[in-house]
Amino acid sequence: MPVPNTAVLLITCPDRKGIVAAVAEFVYSNNANIVHTDEHTDRDSGTFLMRLEFELDGLKLDMQSFAREFAPIAARFEMRWRVALASARQRVAILVSKQDHCLADLLYRHGIGELNCDLPLIVSNHPDSKPLADFYHVPFHHVPVVSDRKKEAEEATMRLLAGEKIELVVLARYMQILSTDFINAYPGRIINIHHSFLPAFIGAKPYHRSYERGVKLVGATSHYVTEVLDEGPIIEQDIIRVSHRDTLDSLIRKGRDLEKVVLSRAVRWHLQHRILLYGNKTAVFD
């Protein structure tokens, strides 16, 4: 899958007249060709959200000059914004516990080019997935978490992430709760997969509770991690049909298939700069 020779401009700001015109005029005057524009206005909060993808061929500026020259426009409209090359590979760490179906899935997708990123680091509180990591040539670090020394384990993990200049942390069924310090170090840059349709079965053992409740669908939810557990902004959700014929085992098996696709979509969209946060929500520009 060839990475397009484009850049993405992401903007969030208070809604006002003239934003699209100012941005489009700036891009055009620098000789760039717009490939996609997506724009959304959240009426409740008066927030304007925009994703603009443009071709680099013929662009008169490099990214640094672009940023410098765009700054006055950004200031005028009070924008939070960033611009990124589609070809720039973000540095991603995967954290995993015992169950490694999401890890295996992400590694395979990365291997065939579905995920445009570097994977310098896998961290796990169990040693089990080391052979899998080795097969894909991704460095694997076993950081055990023992009950009275959790803080040390987390600090060791944070040092590993910092050492590799990690930009995105993917919790691929990582069953440890992160501290506020950890979460604040990666705002809007930690993606978790919750193995249920949030907020239906928040917390632990959602499949057991789905099974007991006799639901006819099970779901999975990927979301950004914020301080309130399982309540961060939802990125993607999907479901699969179940029936009384399903056992708890088959519920869990069906759930695994969901978790893989729901997590990998969130990761890919994040890497493609398709997700904009506003309040406790996301806009996903497809």
User: Which phi and psi angles does 130 have, rounded to 5°?
Assistant: -60, -45
Give, for 66, the enclosing helix (H) or strand (E).
helix 63-76
Strands (E), 60-116: 80-85, 90-96
Name the minimum Å distance from CB 120 to its own copies. Answer: 21
Instruction: Look at the block and give the residue holding tokens 């399903």.
Output: 246
Dist. CA 181–CA 154, nearest whole Å: 10
One of 38, 230, 238, 286 is an active-site residue; which one? 230
Q: Which of 165, 180, 213, 228 binds its own copies (CB under 8 A)?
A: 213
Q: Which is nearer to its own copies, 32 or 166 (CB)?
A: 32
When binding is defined by CB under 8 A, the residue of 198, 225, 263, 271 that contacts its own copies is: 198
What is the closest distance, in whole angstroms, from the C-beta atom of residue 156 to its own copies in the complex?
28
The residue range among 14-22, 63-71, 89-97, 187-195 that interacts with its own copies, by the rule CB under 8 A, is 14-22
- Binding to its own copies in span 108-147, by CB under 8 A: 108, 112, 114, 131, 135
41 binds its own copies, rule: CB under 8 A: yes
Q: In sequence order, what are the residues at sequence separation of 6 or more whose Cβ sits closer than 8 angstroms to the Cβ of residue 41?
A: 15, 47, 48, 49
* Cβ–Cβ under 8 Å, residues 48 and 41: yes
Q: 158: closest CA among 180, 136, 175?
A: 180
Q: Assess whether 230 carries a catalytic annotation.
A: yes
In the window 52-71, what residues touch its own copies (CB under 8 A)? none
User: 125-164 burial string, b = 16+ CB within 10 Å, else e?
Assistant: bbeebeebbeebebebeebebeeeeeeebbebbbebbeeb
For its own copies, how many residues bind (rule: CB under 8 A)? Answer: 69
Sites for its own copies among residues 80-109 (CB under 8 A): 101, 104, 108
Q: Which of 162, 204, 217, 229 binds its own copies (CB under 8 A)?
A: 217
Tokens of 28: 């055009």
Q: CB of 107: closest distance to its own copies in angstroms?
A: 10
Which of 7, 9, 13, 27 is in the footprint of its own copies by CB under 8 A?
27
- To its own copies, the closest distance from the beta carbon of 222 in angstroms equals 9
> Which tokens is 215 given?
């639901």
Q: For residue 192, state whether it binds its own copies (rule: CB under 8 A).
A: no
In contact, 11 and 37? CB cutoff 8 Å: no
Q: Residue type for 69, please?
A: E
Question: Contact positions toward its own copies, by CB under 8 A?
Answer: 1, 15-25, 27-29, 31-43, 101, 104, 108, 112, 114, 131, 135, 197-201, 213-217, 219, 233-239, 241, 243-245, 247, 249, 253, 257, 261, 279-284, 286
Which amino acids are annotated catalytic? 230
